[in-house]
Amino acid sequence: MAEVRLANVRKGYGEALAVDDLSLSIADGEFVALVGPSGCGKTTTLNMIAGLLEPDGGDILIDGRRVNDLDPKDRDIAMVFQNYALYPNKSVRKNLAFPLQMRGLARAEIARRVDEAARMLDIGHLLERRPRELSGGQQQRVALGRALVREPKVFLMDEPLSNLDAKLRVQMRSELKRFHQDLKATIVYVTHDQLEAMTMADRMAVMQGGKLQQYDTPERVYAHPANAFVASFVGSPAMNLIPVRVTDGGVAGGGVAGGGWALDLPPELLARARQARGGVLLGIRHGAIRLLPSAAPGTVAAEVLTVEPTGDITFLNLRLGDTDLVASVPPEQLIAAGQRLWLTFDMARLHLFDATSERAL
Amino acid sequence: MVRHRADYLYVAPAVLVMVLVIAYPVWFTFYLSMFSTPPNLALEDKIFVGLDNYARILGADSVHEASLNTLVWTVASTALAFVLGFGAALALNRPFRGRGLLRGILLVPYVISAVAAAYVWRWLLHSDLGVLSALAMATGLRSQPFNFLDNTDTVLASLIMVNVWKEFPFVMIMMLAGLQTVPDQLLRAAQVDGAGPWQRFWHITVPHLGNVSLVTVLLLLAANFNGFTIPWVMTGGGPAGASEIWITQIYQLAFGRIRFGLASAYSVILFAVMMTMGYFYVRALVGRDRAS
Amino acid sequence: MAGYRIGRRELLAGAATAALLPGALAAQGNKTGVDASTWTPDYINKLAGTADYDTAAECAKVVPLDYKGRLTYWYWGVNQASTEIERKMEADFFAAFAKTYPNIELVKQNLDYNAMLDKLRTASIGKSAPMVARLPILWGSEFAAKGQLMAFGPTDVGYSEDEFWPGALKSVTWKGKRYGVPTNNETMAFIWNAAIFKEAGLDPDKAPASWDDVVAYSKQIKDKTGKNGYGMVARVNAGNTPFRFMPQLWAYGGGALDEAEASPTYTKIMLNSPGAKAALQASYDMYVRDKSVPVSALTNTQTENQDPFIAGQIAMMISHPSEYALMIERARKATGADKQVADNVVANMRYGLIPRGPARRAVVFGGSNAHVFNPNIVEGGMDLQAVKAFVAFMTGPEWSIKLAWNISNPGNVRGFRTKWMRERLDTIRFLDVSTSMLPNGIPFPVLPQSAEIMNIIVPNMLQNTLTRKMTPDQAAENAAKELRALINDL
């Protein structure tokens, strides 16, 4: 296994930059997720690491070696594709053997590695089948196997679970995680699903518009988003972002006829809020909102719009002033639409962002 | 119940046309093939001879010669057109400057009228005044004109060349369409797996193009088997029958010798061969579909 | 002043070809009728302009001029390639007929030569044939044999049979009955490029006298000038080939059947006669041994010889009378350096008689006939009076010659006495020469199988010889075998 380092990598198409000055390092044996919405540049980055695309600027190093000019086959990497990309006219065994044949390995060695991979991924009984005879999950494992037999330095995975149904996806997620643990492999994993990134990655790199937004462990990205984008992207349902004005005592939000609402902030939060030039975005996750049936000091009033019970937790869509919020309550608590509730926010889990730059304050 | 009746109504006009234009003539040909229609008798006075016409045709030496010519003509034209068209498609598959223009130019042989093309080629290859010969003689390569068409040894090959020139763009278009459906990800996976360009072509592109190739080859075989215009216009089946194929013989039998009965029997034989080819075609296609 | 009587005795006693010489000549005591040598260019010139005929008056004797009726007529008429004068004559013809018979509605169809035969065959089967059609001489026997023509002859339109060439009458006869009226007849002649002859050391003003001379001249021309000598044509299923090869075949004493004899039976096969084999040998000598003819002869029709001739690349060939006008046209269209060459060729063009052979001098008797279709297959029924009026009009001396202006000669021999013949002789160069071949004309066998014999069996024989697939001997025997099978099929 090896470490991967990107230094100021740039890739443009015409006027637009798909990847803009990207720098990050992936440690040996680390599982890193590149996550972001469509078009953020994550797949382009992965393809550049693989050698399928040439960067316009910057360096890519694998195991300390600059690989910009190397063909994919010379970079000692293996790739797993979203559509599995299994060779349809070959049996599973031949699919697994193909990269080794291209390498020119001896037949005995090829057979050994294929059987080893098959055993590890539990696809030994499928070796003589064709890909079209396999289920989605089985195909995924074969794709993994094809990468595995190469014994590469780095595994590159391009949204490998996107084609699976929800249930299978959950199952495969844990299998992949086990795969990572067993092999201690360096894995670069591209996904648009922040939940996948959260659950599987050691570190996640959130990208948007070709730029790296934040690169940290999932816990820290979740708890301390660097900007409003990361804040709303990570975590589901998304963090509530409420535009507010800074007042003498705290913040005040807009309101419908009758005035808005106001909230006092503790001193250090207030000091941070004052750093903003213009307005401020208040960020609070649904779990950090407490709901009270009646008014109390430090609460603001909100109206329940809809109630969404999910079994384990019930989500509430609330109207606070002129913004909507999502809050949650345990499933036993029965709330009705139209009900009035009073909210308090957990100040320890309150986030502030500059409304103009969207940076965390 | 009502819904189904409407379906039949929708199909009826097409079926009617087919019956009139295809089924009736086919039936009549079968019918006529069992009669002798000498030129001195009106058609209503034709003489019933049963399968005699078939026996005469299957036993005729000139038919045997034409059969060999037909085989060579069909197989060679198809194979060469396929290879040339496939090559052109591969070359045009990646973008380069002037690609659109080149693609347009390469289409020209296919779209121009067969008769016009045949006449032009006849003069290009003319044994006394052909342009190719004139060029060769002017540059000192030859002292005598090339004899392509008035030569029993080379006439069939020359006609095949003209035929290939005419129809390779068809293959090019079909294969280009097929090439563009080769999944990109599969090629990338192979690239990552270490396959070079030729290996990617052989392991991924070629198997993927199986269906398209099969369709193209079979369509070509059918078209070439019946390819009338080029041989007829250029040499009329000559010299001395060296470029005679089944279809030109049938035409000459029907409209040169006015033996409608014999020609009908000959046509029925041709029909049988084409239907057999069609059967294997459909079987192969369905087989592939079922497998995938 | 119409024709005179030729007795049956004379007819039978006639030589290989039959020519009728009307009027004055007969009076000069030529009771035996046929004497090919008298029909000289000189005599033809003397004959022209010596008589005048009133077409309307003659037709009125058959059908009154105010007759009201309807007529359908199919013909092979002017097309894109036709000359000015042909167009004018055709237009004048229809205008004149309309003037003469204003109450006859004429529905005409001008068909392309290549399509016409198939269209007529189809129409006949489908019972939608026209009332009258004007067909090339070879086509009629097929329809007659199938009972698709109505018995109809010159006497039905008020003319005597003496007014028509016996060869032409042969071509409208089936099983002893007449099935048409000859409209025009032509024979080909021999043209050569005097300049090339001179260049090769041959007398520029004399045509080769015999076919053996043609072979020798061809070789000399090729050897001395590098240009091709004789413009051979040997393509299968092309009408030109038999028109050029049969004269050679007949000249040497051969034939397909016995069509060259005075009274042919059309049952004796002559394709493998010594004469036929000699003719084949002559072609073989030119193409294979001496290589003095175009290599492309195997796939050429006469059209493909015209451009090389006008470009001075071919020395001599058998030529239809209309080709002179065609050559002038081509020369006119030439540009640049080609124009000078073409003009030179035109200036050096000479016309002469087709060479003779050991047996005879022969040429194909060509032309057209007017046929009337059997009423039971005519679309819309038959109007016999209208038909008679039209055929009388068309086959009389005036229109017989006018409609044949450029490319043929009048079928009605009285036409040779008209002032229009004088005009033609004055304006069409070499007309007297090509006309003088008429007595040597032999029509193709008057059988429905004639097309197959002439377009396929004979050219195949030629091609088998020239490609050396068979020896001349084998090719002749093979062709005779095919012909025998064909005749027996009857």
C-alpha span between C180 and C169 (Å, rounded)? 8
CB-based burial, B248-268: b 16+ in 10 Å, e otherwise: bbbbbbbbbbbbbbbbbbbbb
Strand partners, C210: C356
Residue C463 near chain B (CB below 8 Å): yes
- Do the domains C44-187+364-442 and C189-360+446-489 sit in the same CATH topology, yes or no? yes
Measure CB to CB from residue A103 to each of B183, B192, B194 and give the nearest one.
B194
Residue C449 near chain B (CB below 8 Å): yes
Number of folded domains in chain A? 2
- Together in a domain, A61 and A132: yes
CA of B287 to nearest chain A CA: how many angstroms apart? 15
Contact A325, A317 (CB under 8 A): yes
- Together in a domain, A90 and A151: yes
pLDDT for C16 equals 31
Strand partners, C105: C70
Query: Between B171 and A179, whose confidence is greater?
Result: B171
Residues listed for chain B: 292
Residue B134 near chain C (CB below 8 Å): no
pLDDT for C93 equals 94
Is A20 inside any structural domain?
yes
**Which residue type is seen at B165?**
W
Residues with pLDDT less than 50, chain C: 1-36
pLDDT for C26 equals 34
- Together in a domain, A157 and A190: yes
C-alpha span between C451 and B249 (Å, rounded)? 16
Judged by CB atoms closer than 8 Å, whether chains meet at A79 and B189 is answered as yes
pLDDT for C4 equals 33
Is B242 inside any structural domain?
no
* Structure token digits, residue A205: 């790199």
Exposure of C33 in the CB half-sphere (CA atoms within 13 A): 23
CA of A207 to nearest chain B CA: how many angstroms apart? 23
C-alpha span between A161 and A140 (Å, rounded)? 8
Judged by CB atoms closer than 8 Å, whether chains meet at B192 and A102 is answered as no
Task: Name the DSSP letter for residue C49.
Answer: T
Contact C371, C290 (CB under 8 A): no
- The last residue of a domain, from among A204, A226, A248: A226
Chain B residue whose CA is closest to C147: B42
- Peptide bond preceding A237: is omega within 30 degrees of 0, i.e. cis? yes
Is A235 inside any structural domain?
no
Within 8 A by CB and 6+ apart from A281, the residues are: A228, A241, A242, A243, A244, A352, A353, A354, A355, A358
Which of A49, A62, A89 is the best substitution to test chain B (most B C-beta atoms within 10 A)? Answer: A89
Residue B89 belongs to what domain range? 68-236
pLDDT for A253 equals 67
Where do runs of H (alpha helix) occur along C53-193?
55-60, 84-100, 113-125, 140-145, 166-171
C-alpha span between C258 and C264 (Å, rounded)? 5
pLDDT for A300 equals 87
Measure CB to CB from residue B199 to each of A77, A79, A102 and give the nearest one.
A102
Number of folded domains in chain B? 1
Judged by CB atoms closer than 8 Å, whether chains meet at B126 and C296 is answered as yes
Contact A358, A269 (CB under 8 A): no
Which chain B residues are closer than 8 Å to C175 by Cβ? Answer: none
Measure CB to CB from residue B239 to each of C294, C447, C467 and give the nearest one.
C467
C189-360+446-489 in CATH: which number? 3.40.190.10
Is B184 inside any structural domain?
yes
Within 8 A by CB and 6+ apart from B226, the residues are: B247, B270, B274
Count of other CB atoms within 10 angstroms of residue B193? 27
Residue A69 belongs to domain with CATH number: 3.40.50.300
Diameter over CA atoms, chain A:
81
Contact A161, A169 (CB under 8 A): yes
C-alpha span between C219 and C315 (Å, rounded)? 11
Chains C and A touch (3+ CB pairs under 8 A): no
- Peptide bond preceding B239: is omega within 30 degrees of 0, i.e. cis? yes
Determine the 3-state secondary structure of C318 from DSSP.
strand
Within 8 A by CB and 6+ apart from B191, the residues are: A52, A71, A72, A73, B200
Cβ-Cβ pairs closer than 8 A, A with B, add up to 56
ipTM: 0.79
C-alpha span between B80 and B91 (Å, rounded)? 17
Contact B171, B216 (CB under 8 A): yes
Average model confidence (pLDDT) for chain B? Answer: 89
Residue B109 near chain C (CB below 8 Å): no
Judged by CB atoms closer than 8 Å, whether chains meet at C295 and B147 is answered as yes
Estimate the share of chain B in helix, then strand, then coil, as percent rounded to the nearest 5: 75, 0, 25
Query: Between B182 and B284, whose confidence is greater?
Result: B182
Per-residue pLDDT of chain A (361 residues; tens, 9 = 90+): 688 999 999 998 878 888 989 999 999 999 999 999 988 889 999 999 999 999 999 999 998 889 999 988 888 899 998 888 899 888 999 999 999 998 888 999 999 989 988 888 888 898 999 998 998 888 888 998 999 888 888 999 999 888 888 888 888 888 888 888 888 889 999 999 888 899 999 999 999 999 999 999 999 999 999 999 999 999 888 999 888 888 766 677 654 444 578 888 888 888 888 888 778 888 899 999 999 888 888 788 889 999 999 989 999 999 988 888 899 999 888 888 888 989 888 888 888 888 888 888 8
Pick the CATH number of C44-187+364-442 from 3.40.190.10, 3.20.20.210, 3.40.50.460, 1.10.10.10: 3.40.190.10
- Together in a domain, A19 and A140: yes
Which chain C residues are closer than 8 Å to B36 by Cβ? Answer: 489
**Residue B5 — left, alpha, or beta (φ > 0 → left; ψ -120 to 50 → alpha)?**
alpha
pLDDT for C18 equals 35
Measure CB to CB from residue B192 to each of A50, A82, A87 and give the nearest one.
A50
CA of B162 to nearest chain C CA: how many angstroms apart? 16
pLDDT for A259 equals 52
Q: Report the DSSP pairing between strands A280-284 and A240-246.
A: antiparallel
Whose CA is closest to C77, among C88, C65, C68, C90?
C90
Whose CA is closest to A194, among A178, A207, A180?
A207
- The last residue of a domain, from among A171, A204, A226: A226
pLDDT for A256 equals 41
Strands (E), C152-277: 173-174, 177-178, 181-186, 189-193, 228-230
pLDDT for C210 equals 95
Residue B87 near chain C (CB below 8 Å): no
Residue B189 belongs to domain with CATH number: 1.10.3720.10
Which of B127, B128, B133, B262 is the best substitution to test chain C (most C C-beta atoms within 10 A)? Answer: B128
Strands (E), C187-238: 189-193, 228-230
CA angle A102, A103, A109 (to 5 degrees): 110
Is A234 inside any structural domain?
no
Whose CA is closest to C133, among C379, C368, C411?
C368
pLDDT in tens, B127-156: 888 888 888 888 888 888 888 998 889 999
* Structure token digits, residue C312: 């001075």
Residue A346 belongs to what domain range? 240-354
Domain ranges of chain C: 44-187+364-442, 189-360+446-489
Chain C residue whose CA is closest to B129: C308
Predicted TM-score (pTM) of this structure:
0.75
Torsion angles phi and psi, residue B149, rounded to 5: -100, -20
Within 8 A by CB and 6+ apart from C65, the residues are: C56, C59, C100, C101
Measure CB to CB from residue B128 to each of C148, C294, C456 and give the nearest one.
C294
Burial of B52 (0-12, 13-18, 19+ CB in 10 A): middle
How much is the average pLDDT of B237-262?
89
Measure CB to CB from residue A81 to each of B189, B207, B292 and give the nearest one.
B189
Diameter over CA atoms, chain B:
80
CA of A119 to nearest chain B CA: how many angstroms apart? 21
Is B197 inside any structural domain?
yes
Residue B252 near chain C (CB below 8 Å): yes
Chains B and C touch (3+ CB pairs under 8 A): yes
Chain B residue whose CA is closest to A157: B189
Which chain C residues are closer than 8 Å to B62 by Cβ? Answer: none
Which residues in A have their CB inside 8 Å of a CB on B? 50-52, 71-73, 77-79, 81-83, 85, 87-90, 98-99, 102-103, 132, 146, 150
